[in-house]
């Protein structure tokens, strides 16, 4: 995800809305990259 953001020159809002592979039984929709991005944008959520 970080490599994609750097390569494409994504902004924080673009990175926050990037669709990443998500399997509900194996991981969470908010990962270690997305959490600080959402906080930097001032968005609050329950993980």
Report the pLDDT value the prediction gives residue 24, as an integer from 0 to 100.
Answer: 65
**Ramachandran angles phi, psi of 39, nearest 5°:** -65, -40
Report the pLDDT value the prediction gives residue 22, as an integer from 0 to 100.
Answer: 64
Quick check: helix, strand or coil at residue 14? helix
Q: pLDDT digit string (tens) for 3-46?
A: 888 999 999 888 887 766 666 666 666 777 888 888 898 987 76
Report the pLDDT value the prediction gives residue 17, as an integer from 0 to 100.
Answer: 78
Report the pLDDT value the prediction gives residue 7, as an integer from 0 to 100.
Answer: 93
Which residue intervals of 1-47 are DSSP H helices? 2-8, 12-16, 34-40
Report the pLDDT value the prediction gives residue 9, as an integer from 0 to 100.
Answer: 94
Alpha-carbon gap, residue 39 to 37, rounded angstroms: 5
Quick check: helix, strand or coil at residue 10? coil
For the record, the structure tokens of 33 come out as 């990259």
């Amino acid at each position: 995800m970080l490599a994609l953001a750097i390569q494409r020159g994504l902004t924080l809002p673009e990175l926050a809305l990037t669709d990443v592979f998500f399997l509900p039984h194996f991981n969470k929709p908010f990962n270690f990259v997305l959490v600080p991005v959402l906080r930097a944008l001032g968005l609050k959520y329950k993980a």
